[in-house]
């Protein structure tokens, strides 16, 4: 699975976004260690707080299906689904990723010019609260 192909799947997922309030569509495609891919979109709510980000939609779908070993996630988004800038995962999504993913987990972001930027989870969430050092 190339970063570009994973990003294509994130763009496909973005079209499923339910975002009538922010009008910002976000898509994610999560690559599992066994090659399976889970797609997610943001799902907003009139009460705002219950809104679920695209990344968490993908992760929760995958975990429910029995996956806990992840390699990478591609994320893209923008107003009305027009990708203009990178759409980095929010702090809550970074922490949810951290529950299952280690430092080298890769995050791909669409930059709006047709390129894919590459980050590690360690770059996006350094000095983090780690489940593997907490669970006895």
**For ligand THU, which is the closer residue by CB, 66 or 126?**
126
**For ligand THU, which is the closer residue by CB, 61 or 66?**
61
Rounded Cα distance, 108 and 72, in Å: 7
Contacts of 88 (CB under 8 A, 6+ apart): 75, 107, 109, 119, 124
Minimum Å gap between C-beta 75 and ligand THU is 7
Rounded Cα distance, 14 and 78, in Å: 9
Residue 69: HSE in the Cβ half-sphere, 13 Å Cα cutoff: 4
Instruction: Establish whether 55 is a catalytic residue.
Output: yes
**Closest CA relative to residue 67, chosen from 75, 55, 59:** 59
**Closest CA relative to residue 60, chosen from 48, 35, 43, 47:** 43
**Catalytic one of 15, 55, 80, 113:** 55
Question: Which chain residues interact with ligand THU by CB under 6 A?
Answer: 19, 22, 24, 26, 42, 44, 51, 53-55, 89-90, 93
Minimum Å gap between C-beta 109 and ligand THU is 10
Minimum Å gap between C-beta 2 and ligand THU is 23
**For ligand THU, which is the closer residue by CB, 3 or 42?**
42
Q: Residues with catalytic annotation?
A: 55
């Amino acid at each position: 699975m190339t970063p570009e192909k994973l990003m294509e799947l994130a763009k496909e997922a973005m079209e499923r976004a339910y975002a009538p309030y922010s009008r910002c569509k976000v898509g994610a495609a999560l690559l599992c260690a066994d090659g399976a891919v889970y797609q997610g979109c943001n799902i907003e709510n009139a009460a705002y707080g219950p809104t679920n980000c695209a990344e968490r939609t993908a992760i929760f779908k995958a975990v429910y299906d029995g996956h806990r070993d992840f390699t990478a996630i591609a994320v893209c988004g923008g107003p009305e689904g027009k990708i203009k800038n990178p759409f980095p995962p929010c702090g809550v999504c970074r922490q949810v990723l951290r529950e299952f993913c280690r430092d080298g987990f890769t995050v791909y972001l669409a930059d709006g010019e047709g390129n894919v930027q590459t980050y590690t989870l360690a770059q996006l969430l350094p000095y983090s609260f780690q489940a593997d050092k907490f669970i006895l």
